[in-house]
Amino acid sequence: MSTTKSASTDETYVIEEPVEGDGSLTVRKTSTDTVYHVVDYADSIVREKLAARPVGSTVRLELAPADPDGLDWVVTRLKPGAPLAL
């Protein structure tokens, strides 16, 4: 079991590109406009829920780095509910 802590908590992201066939996803953090390349998910349910969201949707996520350089990310949690007003 991984003990990696999430890099962000309770952050909102905009889906920039949909979940691709290989599972990759591109999201942009709303507070900084930083783009994250997602390559893995906590489980298949998280992946399915994100795949069902249209491009431009805002979601609340927790991300953790998938590599030491911070180039690829793992969605460790998709938080329920709509984000607070931006």
The CATH number given to whatever domain includes residue 58 is 2.40.50.140
Residue numbers of the chain with a pLDDT score lower than 50: 1-6, 8, 86
Neighbours of 18 (CB within 10 A): 15
**Does residue 73 contact residue 25 with C-beta atoms inside 8 Å?**
no
CA distance 48 to 32: 26
What phi and psi, each to the nearest 5 degrees, are found at residue 2? -75, 145
* 52 domain residue, yes or no: yes
* 84 domain residue, yes or no: no
* 36 domain residue, yes or no: yes
In total, how many domains does the chain have?
1
DSSP codes joined into one string, 8-67:
-SSEEEEEEEPPPTTS-EEEEETTT--EEEEEEESSHHHHHHHHTSPTT-EEEEEEEESS
Q: What is the pTM of this model?
A: 0.82
Please give the residue range of the domain that contains residue 33. 11-79
Residue-level pLDDT at 70: 87
